Structure 1
């Protein structure tokens, strides 16, 4: 098995593994076992919305698993209350909770471990940059508050305009600001506009796009899927660096066909008012 095949298989294993026993451990347990007190590894006064800081909460409570090369299975004791993670997830009580909550914790642990371990993933502020197996790069901002991946580089502006002194609050003070200065489901790629499909992509390799005026893809979460599981799928899609181009190229083909239909139906230009369709 080649190194690339091994990475792909490891990714599939990450997607399908089940952490049947999510544990919680008090902070003093780590000291007793010779590890660092999680308190010393977590920046409690920092911006825990940043993916790197958020991930450090999980890694601090999984030092033993990191040292032993095991799956992360320990849920943070209390620190997640300092983040925007849903309240029902912050304290782990797997013995008394619905299976949906336990499953979502498994997804978060799996996502955090994969982001921590993968050499293909780099984090800069809110922005996640993924280097694919064929050298192409993909970027997006990870928005923990809204549980979305959004336009890369947009969250800094978003929080500058919606959080802090002097920012107008919309609605009651206990509700988050509803203004959003980003676009959801956006993944930027390194080939730019009017890209040519990479040679290694079956069927479409080497062919140019015609309608790809943007430098990104719109990839939305599957309805009903938890955010951490959806994002883990997205990361694997970017690292695999093949099917994502097939998806993008086929979208371009569908746009070409759509424009042909419009021009055939309305050769003088598409009408702008409903009455003009009559």
Structure 2
């Protein structure tokens, strides 16, 4: 880093340091206006990692009592490259906004998508739901399912169901169904129930970038949701044929 540039001078300390926005902002501060960085962001803010201000690349600070590192050196370096790509894309795309942990993405055809991101648990969820599911997500990660405590068990199941779900601005037609947007003319008068975008990348940041790019592109994401809806309906039909009066042991899954 040249003497004329110091990433510390670029940091906006009004941003909540516990938010995902701050994590991406730190990377932006070290790269966006850095004269040593060309087209591809490459500078990692190592100083802030040592000060425990940077949670990436892992997403949280591992315990000093861990017997082995959470990431190998190679894994850590690859994740850093992946996060640099995500941060650069977010910074350079006007249709993306990040408010603390909540993304808002406007697609090229006008669709609006919103979701929360958890760097710690490596997943996205419906907007403004991360705080509500935090304890359950921590239990799941630590293997403490608490099935013997019904309230905790239900909370864990709700967190699992919320994982990978995003919110769209599609028009609700009642009974939990929403219509496809007007620009997807092939799905006119059709509807879907849930908007879950399953990760496709080799790492969480790679999956996040791929998903955000889908939302910006605003076409293929609807094809994915349509295929998921067809699969859901087929599964329901098969379930009803097999257990027309309901599965006898459903109470075990409450």
TM-score (norm 1): 0.65
CA distance in 1, matches of 2:207, 2:85: 12
Q: Does 1:54 align with 2:23?
A: yes
Bigger drift between 55-64 and 234-243 goes to 55-64
* Corresponding position of 2:180: 197
List per-residue Cα deviations over 1:207-254 (Å, max 9, x = no partner): 312xx344xx122324x7211111000101111111111111122222
CA distance in 1, matches of 2:168, 2:96: 14
How does 1:1-278 map onto structure 2 within 5 Å?
Answer: 25=1, 29=2, 32-33=3-4, 35=5, 37-42=6-11, 47-65=16-34, 70-80=39-49, 81-86=52-57, 98-157=73-132, 182=159, 183-191=162-170, 192=172, 193-201=176-184, 204-209=186-191, 212-214=192-194, 217-222=195-200, 225-267=202-244, 269-273=245-249
List per-residue Cα deviations over 1:155-202 (Å, max 9, x = no partner): 24456x79xxxxxx99xxxx9x99978532111111044223334437
For these two proteins, the number of residue pairs brought into alignment is 218
CA distance in 2, matches of 1:187, 1:199: 19
SS at 2:199's partner residue?
A: coil
Which has the larger Rg? 1
Q: CA RMSD in A?
A: 3.5
5+ long unaligned stretches in structure 2: 62-71, 146-151
Using the TM superposition, give the Cα deviation of residue 270 of structure 1 relative to its aligned residue in structure 2, in angstroms.
2.3
CA contact (8 A) 2:60 2:120 kept: no
Using the TM superposition, give the Cα deviation of residue 77 of structure 1 relative to its aligned residue in structure 2, in angstroms.
2.7
CA distance in 2, matches of 1:256, 1:188: 20
CA distance in 2, matches of 1:154, 1:89: 19
CA contact (8 A) 1:66 1:72 kept: no
CA distance in 1, matches of 2:117, 2:218: 20
Q: 1:150 to 1:89 in 2, by over 3 A?
A: closer
Q: 1:184 to 1:83 in 2, by over 3 A?
A: farther
CA contact (8 A) 1:111 1:228 kept: yes
Q: 1:270 to 1:88 in 2, by over 3 A?
A: closer
TM-score (norm 2): 0.71
CA contact (8 A) 1:85 1:145 kept: no
CA contact (8 A) 2:82 2:205 kept: yes
SS at 1:218's partner residue?
A: coil
CA distance in 1, matches of 2:113, 2:211: 10
5+ long unaligned stretches in structure 1: 1-24, 91-96, 163-168
